[in-house]
Structure 1
């Protein structure tokens, strides 16, 4: 298994904490060398995933927790957002989780599925597990641009 750092954060399932996670994500992604545009995409994606969890996970007034995990690899960032407050068992989640298929009935996951379509458009990979609550696993690869003599980007490598 490849080497990575794992950062886990828990927040109350309240919209006002989304900004805290966006700032944390910005710091992690910036440190990894992601471009400004990629960091903006990451921030939109994590906001959508957390907002989805805040809006739909705790309807009955029970203020639960949302757990956010960041898997920091050399060439990619994995982000997990879970609408239950437990800690992540990374291996189990990855073994159980399936790809997000755009034609799935979004209602099977949660109402307000537009966020999932947006996340899917902005991230390189999106996987969903809704066996116990909903876990969204999003991956963004760090592409290094190779620049030629005239400063024109000629190719990207992973």
Structure 2
């Protein structure tokens, strides 16, 4: 089995704790050697996942919590954001996300599902489970632009 470090945090499902997670993530990613751009991408993706949980998982009467786990591997960072609130239908969300047409005014863009689009765009791998609550598992590889000798590209880094 592959060796890795595991960090787990639980926060109240409140928007004011998103910054705490962004700082934690920044520290972990920096220690791993991610570039500034990759760290910013990670922070945006994780912020979107947490904000979605804060906004949609619990109603105003529930005091929910969000669990965030970091799997720290030599070549990648896996981040899980989980809540136990209401679930959603992923197919419905994807159907509501349409392609952007440059002729369409930006004011007409639908907001729902944009966070999932951002997460999917910024991360190397995204998996979502919504059987009980929502679990978003995001993976970002370290040095993603580099390739092995067996691949069909040559890395420009030494």
Alignment of 1:50-129 (within 5 A): 50-84=50-84, 104-106=91-93, 112-129=112-129
Q: Answer yes or no: is the 8 Å Cα contact 1:144–1:156 preserved in 2.
A: no
Secondary structure in 1 matching 2:62: coil
**TM-score normalized by the length of structure 2:** 0.76
**1:143 and 1:156 in contact (8 A); partners too:** no
3-state DSSP of counterpart to 2:77:
strand
Return structure 1 stretches of 4+ with deviation > 2 angstroms: none
Cα deviations across residues 113-150 of structure 1 (Å, max 9, x unaligned)? 2101100000000000011100000000001767xxxx
The SS at the match of 2:91 is: coil
SS in 1 for 2:30: helix
Aligned residues: 131
> What CA distance in whole angstroms lies between the structure 2 residues aligned with 1:156 and 1:41?
22
Report the aligned-residue RMSD: 2.4
Q: Which residue does the alignment assign to 1:24?
A: 24
Using the size of structure 1 for normalisation, the TM-score is 0.76
Please state how far the C-alpha of 1:105 moved relative to its aligned partner: 2.2
Structure 1 residue runs without a partner (length 5+):
86-102, 147-153
Larger radius of gyration: 2
1:61, CA displacement in angstroms? 2.2
Task: Rate the CA distance shift 1:144–1:53 in 2: closer, same or farther, 3 A.
Answer: closer
**If each structure's strand is expressed as a fraction of its own residues, which one has the higher value?**
1
